Amino acid sequence: MKKVLFLSALIVIITLVGCSNNSNTASTGNNPAGTKDSAGAGSGPDTSDKADAADKAGNADKGDNADKGDNRELIVAGQEIAASLDPVKPLTSSYLRNIGAAEALFKVDAGGKVQPELAESAAEVDPTTWEIELRPEARFWSGKAIDADAVIASLERSKSLDLQAKPFLEELTFAKKDDYTLQVKTKRSHMQVPLNLSYYQTVIHNAEAKHDAIGTMDLTGMYKVVEFSPKQKMILALNENYWGKKPVIQRVVYEEISDEQTRVLSVLSGRSQVALNIGTTSLAQFRDSKEAKISATPAANTQTIYLNLGKPQFEDVRVRQALSWALNREELVILAAEGESIPVSTWLGSNPAFAEAKNAVYIKFDPDKAAELLDEAGWALGSEGIRYKDGKPLTLRLMTWGGDKALGEALQNQWTSVGVKAEVQHGDYSLIQTARESGDWDASIEAWSTFGDELTLLTGQYAPEGSANYGGFNDAETNQLLARLAEESDGAARNKLALQINERVAGQAPVISLFPRPQITAVSGKLHGFQDHFRQFENTVNANLTLDSK
Amino acid sequence: MSNANHPVSLVSGIVVLGLLAILILGAPFLAPYDPVKQNVTERLEKPSMEHPLGTDRFGRDVLSRTLHGGQTTLISSVVALCAALIIGLFVGLTAGMFHGSIIDIILMRLIDVLLSFPFMVLAMVIAALFGTSLSHLLLAVVAVWWVSFARLTRSVVLHAKNETSFAAARVLGATNGAIIFKELLPKAISPVLILATFELGSLILSIAALSFLGLGSQPPAPEWGSMLADGRDHFMQAPHILIGPALFIFLTVLAFNLIGEGLRDRLDPYEKTEL
């Protein structure tokens, strides 16, 4: 009896403590939500719960930003922010450019066209020489002029200290023609110098500055860094001396929230206005949200299956083609990308500059064609639905990593339906690397960028010596086309040749292209002027962004 | 009062386990759908008459996957437990029989090392070296799970060696093998089996946890841990996906713990004396 009484008392105490915690939490969570309501933000019960959750995640200090309701402050929640302020440190320039602190000589617009940024114009003088005009009015934050000397010093510093900048700068030699004109010599003919100088790795910074603290860094962007906690938070204020159009929003807070669900809750609660890197599985939470909407832009990279051509079953081109015909890409987009991408059957198809390449080959899902090709190749369908040749089953072990497990399962299902005994091995990327080194792999998934200099990209993927030619593709016709592309100077002809190579490779199917990896950003309904861009990670902030007052 | 509870634990555990066993082993006949068949038009459906536990992101019936997944989880757990039990008994009997010898010292130090080594880390190392698969997962589990059986067996053997029956066997000239198999093994079996019923619950949880981390069975095979991992991505959108595997894990572990408790109360002489 005593035990029963003790147990009852314990339950009552626990219940009371629980209720008291709930009421505390509710009041904490309702404060910002209540303020927002009074400001006319109109949050329902769900929203206040989410605000509560976001506050619990340790963000309560900033919860009133949305209620300021003007253009004073924009909060961007990123999966990761810089660990350093020096643009030559790994990925730092990417974060600095993303948030409007750093600029390069050129930029790429949402349509994939290269546009001047700190440069005023560029012209190819001869096949190996370019001249770039600079903007005399442009200044670093310190007031120093961005002249030819400063630009050369910046680019040379990036070239020597940033390994990631090397691919874009190592074949270029810079010289001063006059104070505001830069001469660029290239090692190869007809290199696309403005494109090379549009990458975040080439942002212009004052090479004489130390870049080891807020006071010693010197960049050119419309926002200046005024507070920085590595891997936590970066606060930026308007650069009053900015050479270009001054942004409307006065202050930007860029903070690291590594957990995806917390980023989602942060933007849904109105605590932040932009949340980067949202997963496809979180999309449903935005479906009925009035607080935030989704910007899902296919990135300029293609989810691609790389086949190991050293494996006997993939030596026959008909087998590889059959694997491609057997895929229902529309369905893959739904199953693996929640519908937030577009089917692409050739590798260059995800590049906005080659939009016509999207479905140039394998126009539609055709399992009958796949079956026909496999029959022709001698792989006969066995009684249990698997194809055999010389007593051996047609097997394929697909190695996946990261967020590609669902894609792997969907592919497995589609290949199995045409008689391929497909197996998915999901694990760490190091397993794929080890397997590639040993040659013990059948297929793996990668998503390389398809935006950049056509020759560099296509050589890297399909030339015998290409660093991303994992499967050992070596096709005489492709090699010949690549050689022609290297010699071609005319832009239109280069474009045509690139498309030809792209189609040839898709036809030979050493790789199987699926769809561009979706790039999802959650944007508050109060934020206007946000631009969808295939390189969203470096185009989050722009001068035209405004925030609703209510 | 407590004595009356003992059969209740055992009986209720057996009843729950029996029901689960019928559902799981009868999955090929009871499951309404093919557990691996994808149906893109029926993705993430809520529980309904057609799909009592809803469907997952591939449109697969969660109930069918849960029932079939139980086979993977239970069979792999039982296989791992049997392997660990056999190794543990062998090592424990050997160490106990040759107590104080170099064999005993080496085996005991090996046990100390394994006890201090987190098996999750071992499982991850094995997965990193050899790849992820259910067999590698079981290898990692067995590699450390035998230790508790070995220690228990050794302690039982040491206790049994002080008994007159052991001395009598020695005096009568019984060989070491005969003493181990006819004198010591029967005495060790009961406590080890009781321990095994408790360990099976932990083992199921561990295998599910490792599969949850992606170290276990590979797609499209259903397995409770990996089903939970897959469902986690859709927790906000379709929380019902998690109900099936979570409920079955809970009930299975509960059933084994109840059975273990009941068996201990019935078979453990020390427990009886204490009560």
pLDDT in tens, A178-228: 999 999 999 988 888 999 999 999 999 999 999 999 999 999 999 999 999
Q: Which residues of chain B have pLDDT under 50?
A: 1-4, 273-275
Which three-class secondary structure state does DSSP give residue B272? helix
- Partners of A268 on chain B (C-beta within 8 Å) are none
B87 lies in some domain? yes
Burial class (CB in 10 A: 0-12, 13-18, 19+), A179: exposed
Residues belonging to chain A with any Cβ–Cβ distance to chain B shorter than 8 Å: 261, 279, 281-282, 284-285, 331, 334-335, 405-406, 408-410, 412-413, 423-428, 430-431
Q: Compute the distance between CA of residue B34 and CA of residue B220 in angstroms, rounded to an integer.
A: 11
Q: Is the pLDDT of residue A131 over 60?
A: yes
Q: Compute the distance between CA of residue A471 and CA of residue B110 in angstroms, rounded to an integer.
A: 45
Task: Give the HSE-up count for residue B54: Cα atoms under 13 Å, Cβ half-sphere.
Answer: 18
Tens-digit pLDDT profile for residues B24-49: 999 999 999 999 999 999 999 999 99
Kindly report the three-state secondary structure assignment for every residue of A449-486.
ECCCCHHHHHHHHHCCCCCCCCCCCCCHHHHHHHHHHH
Q: How far is CA A308 from the centre of its chain?
A: 26
Between B62-97 and B2-25, two packed helices, what is the crossing angle to 10 degrees? 120
Task: Give the HSE-up count for residue B178: Cα atoms under 13 Å, Cβ half-sphere.
Answer: 9
Q: How far is CA B199 from the centre of its chain?
A: 6
Q: Compute the distance between CA of residue B74 and CA of residue A396 in angstroms, rounded to an integer.
A: 29
Q: Compute the distance between CA of residue A545 and CA of residue A550 in angstroms, rounded to an integer.
A: 15
Structural tokens at position A434: 């080890």
A 10 A CB-CB count for A531 gives 15
Tens-digit pLDDT profile for residues A320-373: 999 999 999 999 999 999 888 999 999 999 988 888 888 788 888 999 999 999
- Partners of A428 on chain B (C-beta within 8 Å) are 127-128
CB contact under 8 A, A424 and B236: no
Check if B39 contacts A (Cβ < 8 Å): no
CB contact under 8 A, A409 and B58: yes
Backbone angles phi, psi at A387, to 5 degrees: -90, 145
pLDDT bin (cut points 50, 70, 90) of residue A63 is very low
Q: Is the pLDDT of residue A1 over 60?
A: no
Taking the CA of residue B90 and the nearest CA in chain A, the distance in Å comes to 35
Rg (CA), chain B: 22
pLDDT in the model for residue A84 = 92
Tens-digit pLDDT profile for residues A419-448: 999 999 888 888 888 899 999 999 999 988
- Partners of A405 on chain B (C-beta within 8 Å) are 214, 219, 230
Q: Compute the distance between CA of residue B260 and CA of residue B237 in angstroms, rounded to an integer.
A: 38
Q: Spell out the residues 6+ positions from residue A63 whose beta carbon is closer than 8 angstroms to its own.
A: A31, A32, A51, A54, A55, A269, A271
CATH architecture of A301-515: Roll (3.10)
- Please name which of A149, A204, A207 lies closest in space to residue A177, comparing C-alpha atoms: A149
Instruction: Please say whether the beta carbons of B141 and B80 come within 8 A.
Output: yes
Tens-digit pLDDT profile for residues A404-419: 889 999 999 999 999 9
Residue of chain B whose alpha carbon sits nearest to that of A433:
B128
- Please name which of B2, B187, B205, B28 lies closest in space to residue B97, comparing C-alpha atoms: B187
- Partners of A431 on chain B (C-beta within 8 Å) are 128, 131-132
A 10 A CB-CB count for A238 gives 18
- Partners of A425 on chain B (C-beta within 8 Å) are 131-133, 218
Alpha-carbon distances of A417 from A175, A386, B39, B120, B172, rounded to whole Å: 60, 9, 13, 36, 69
A 10 A CB-CB count for A96 gives 30
Taking the CA of residue A343 and the nearest CA in chain B, the distance in Å comes to 16
Q: Is the pLDDT of residue A11 over 90?
A: no
Residue of chain B whose alpha carbon sits nearest to that of A402:
B214
Residue of chain B whose alpha carbon sits nearest to that of A434:
B129
Which three-class secondary structure state does DSSP give residue A230? coil
CB contact under 8 A, A261 and B236: yes
Q: What CATH number is attached to the domain comprising B226?
A: 1.10.3720.10
pLDDT bin (cut points 50, 70, 90) of residue A449 is confident
* Total tally of structural domains belonging to chain B: 1
Which three-class secondary structure state does DSSP give residue A421? strand
A 10 A CB-CB count for A549 gives 11
Instruction: Please say whether the beta carbons of A114 and A194 come within 8 A.
Output: yes
Q: Which of B40, B128, B218 sits opposite A428 (nearest CB)?
A: B128
CB contact under 8 A, B214 and A431: no
Residue of chain A whose alpha carbon sits nearest to that of B43:
A335
Q: Which of B57, B219, B234 sits opposite A424 (nearest CB)?
A: B219
pLDDT in the model for residue B7 = 77
- Please name which of A108, A91, A112 lies closest in space to residue A539, comparing C-alpha atoms: A108
Q: Where are the alpha helices (DSSP H) in A187-346?
A: 193-196, 260-268, 317-325, 329-337
Q: Is the pLDDT of residue A273 over 60?
A: yes
Best probe of the A interface among B46, B57, B58, B132, by most A CBs < 10 A, is: B57
Residue of chain B whose alpha carbon sits nearest to that of A424:
B219
Q: How far is CA B33 from the centre of its chain?
A: 28
CB contact under 8 A, B38 and A431: no
Task: State the pairing for strand pair A546-547/A387-389.
Answer: unpaired
Beta-carbon contacts below 8 Å between A and B: 62
Residue A201 is classified by DSSP as: G
Taking the CA of residue A287 and the nearest CA in chain B, the distance in Å comes to 10
- Partners of B132 on chain A (C-beta within 8 Å) are 425-427, 431
Structural tokens at position B131: 């790849």
Q: Compute the distance between CA of residue A263 and CA of residue A350 in angstroms, rounded to an integer.
A: 27
Q: Which residue has the higher pLDDT, A486 or A329?
A: A329
Instruction: Report pTM.
Output: 0.75
- Please name which of A17, A48, A23 lies closest in space to residue A33, comparing C-alpha atoms: A48
- Please name which of A276, A271, A220, A222 lies closest in space to residue A249, comparing C-alpha atoms: A222
Tens-digit pLDDT profile for residues A23-37: 333 333 333 322 333
pLDDT in the model for residue A309 = 97
- Please name which of B93, B118, B91 lies closest in space to residue B107, comparing C-alpha atoms: B91
- Partners of B57 on chain A (C-beta within 8 Å) are 281, 335, 406
Tell me the mean pLDDT in the region A286-292. Answer: 88
Give the mean pLDDT of chain A: 85
CB contact under 8 A, A425 and B234: no
Q: Spell out the residues 6+ positions from residue A304 whose beta carbon is closer than 8 angstroms to its own.
A: A347, A445, A446, A447, A448, A511, A512, A513, A514
Place of tokens 């719960």: A49
Q: Compute the distance between CA of residue A533 and CA of residue A531 in angstroms, rounded to an integer.
A: 6
pLDDT bin (cut points 50, 70, 90) of residue A65 is very low
Q: Compute the distance between CA of residue B172 and CA of residue A442 in angstroms, rounded to an integer.
A: 64
Residue of chain B whose alpha carbon sits nearest to that of A401:
B214
Q: What is the dihedral of CA B157, B158, B164, B166, to 10 degrees?
A: 50
Q: Compute the distance between CA of residue A241 and CA of residue A365 in angstroms, rounded to an integer.
A: 56
pLDDT in the model for residue A8 = 53
Between B62-97 and B243-267, two packed helices, what is the crossing angle to 10 degrees? 30
Instruction: Please say whether the beta carbons of A416 and A408 come within 8 A.
Output: no
Q: What is the dihedral of CA A247, A252, A257, A263, to 10 degrees?
A: -60
Domain that holds residue B209: 72-267
ipTM of the complex: 0.77
Peptide bond into B220 cis (omega under 30): yes
Q: Compute the distance between CA of residue B74 and CA of residue A79 in angstroms, rounded to an integer.
A: 39
The sign of the torsion formed by the CA atoms of A386, A388, A393, A399 equals negative
Q: Spell out the residues 6+ positions from residue B112 whose beta carbon is closer than 8 angstroms to its own.
A: none
- Please name which of B271, B257, B268 lies closest in space to residue B12, comparing C-alpha atoms: B257
pLDDT in the model for residue A395 = 96
Q: Where are the alpha helices (DSSP H) in A80-169?
A: 92-98, 148-161, 166-169
CB contact under 8 A, A427 and B214: yes
Q: Compute the distance between CA of residue B208 and CA of residue B249 in angstroms, rounded to an integer.
A: 8
Kindly report the three-state secondary structure assignment for every residue of A322-372.
HHHHCCCHHHHHHHHHCCCCCCCCCHHHHCHHHHHHCCCCCCCCCHHHHHH
